[in-house]
Amino acid sequence: MPLDAHIAGQLKRNTDGLVCAVVQEAGTGQVLMVAWMDDDALARTLETGEATYFSRSRGKQWIKGETSGHTQKVTEVRLDCDGDTVLLTVEQTGAACHTGDHTCFDANVLFTTISGPS
């Protein structure tokens, strides 16, 4: 399915033809993961409401949860001021991270000013 021309005209793709996608969980506001989209992946996301990305390592479209069952139902998509990043709000089923963690940012804290048990 082709991407709407008006939207396509607003995108500032990187040299690989991709925009960055930041994925935030509805309700909790947690940032779950960051992935990438080509025009087709964004078009499919907007058309179906199923978060769909472009896998840079596999070089092909990737429907989130297609194999794991850990799908993302998209409730909102916003484009940033310079057109190179979309922010998805999603309802996450299961873990967002392939490690089994809820988010891809759970495991590794480099710096914190927040004291107390973590």
Binding residues for Mg(2+): 80, 82, 84
Distance in angstroms (rounded) separating the CA atoms of residues 73 and 11: 23
Q: With binding defined as CB under 8 A, does residue 92 bind a copy of itself? A: no
Q: With binding defined as CB under 8 A, does residue 115 bind a copy of itself? A: no
Residues ≥6 apart with Cβ < 8 Å to 4: 43, 46
Q: 3-state class of 61 per DSSP?
A: strand
Q: How far is CA 51 from CA 18, 33, 103, in A?
A: 15, 12, 15
The first and second tokens of residue 52, run together, are 């769909």
Contact predicate 81/15, CB 8 Å:
no
Residues between 7 and 66 with contacts to a copy of itself, criterion CB under 8 A: 7, 10, 20, 22, 24, 28-31, 33-34, 45-46, 49
Q: With binding defined as CB under 8 A, does residue 78 bind a copy of itself? A: yes
Q: Which of 5, 9, 69, 107 binds a copy of itself (CB under 8 A)?
A: 107
Q: Which of 40, 65, 101, 102 binds a copy of itself (CB under 8 A)?
A: 101
Annotation: binding site: 80-82, 84, 97, 104
Residues between 55 and 74 with contacts to a copy of itself, criterion CB under 8 A: 74
Q: Which of 9, 58, 69, 82 binds a copy of itself (CB under 8 A)?
A: 82
Distance in angstroms (rounded) separating the CA atoms of residues 13 and 18: 5
